[in-house]
Structure 1
Amino acid sequence: MSELLKKTNTKRLAACLAVPLAVGSVVGKAISKDVKEYSELDKPNFAPPKWAFPVAWTTLYTLMGLAKYKALEAADEEQKTTVRKSDGLQLSLNFIWSFLFFKFHLRGTALIEMTILLLTILYTAKEYAKVSKTAAKLMIPYILWVSFALCLNASVWYKNK
């Protein structure tokens, strides 16, 4: 166990975990009153209950942070730049989607943006795989959730045009 801790760059790990969790927290607080309106929308029968979203996103943000950490630890300097850029891009798109969908009620625009987000996440996972298979695998739940959320977004948009 102590050998594992010696190999862990705790500052990098903390930063990799803190950034997506902080982004998620900021988004959650910024759109909290707008999310209440979501419950009034016509949603498909496969829409998860309200409590599932914070549980899922906290888990996903944690996995994103761990994936980035694993990728950075395995990457050379040039690859670290790519890891940081791809991660920053997907996290920025993740942040923007919530405002498009919940705050500004631009559900069609959010659908297009989420499609770009999903492609960016896939690109990020591909870049992670070049340096760490574990990092890429940690992105799978995120890819699956965003794929599901894309279907949910499309259905909500269609039902509430």
Structure 2
Amino acid sequence: MTATTGDAPGQPYAASVALRWSDMDAYAHINNVQFLRLLEDARVIAFRDWFDQDRSLLDEGVLVSRHEIEYRRPLGFRAAPVRVEMWVSRIGGAGFDVAYVVRDPDGVGDAVYAVAETELALYDFASARPRRMRPEERASLAVHLGDRAPLRRRR
């Protein structure tokens, strides 16, 4: 799995995420539930880059509180990874949202397979309570801030 950051301001961050044979279902395409794993894998790659050596966000805790996903077309198993473009779509006091577009990687095609958004809540596992966002976390996220996910329901 690899990652690239957009060359120009406003370009989404992109992670290449490999498909697994076990992601495929009886219909010979990637199962809808496995798309959430693809998003999670892409988030882990992105957070490693977005927060650099400051691992506090991941070490202290961040929990998924909501997913919204639209499946645009079936994704068959293949050796080429998918490209997960992502950006921060909302920054709040104790959480943030990440938007995604799952598509073919450069040179493979131009298909969009899914559009999604995940709401994440900051959490302190030591105290078992939600926590407020720190200024340095907000600054790291603000670099990747963009529009809401282009979900059809919102148009």
Confirm or deny a common fold (TM above 0.5): no
| TM-score of the two chains, using structure 2 as the length reference | 0.30
More helix by share: 1
| TM-score of the two chains, using structure 1 as the length reference | 0.30
Q: 1 or 2 for the larger relative contact order (CA 8 Å, sep ≥6)?
A: 1
More strand by share: 2
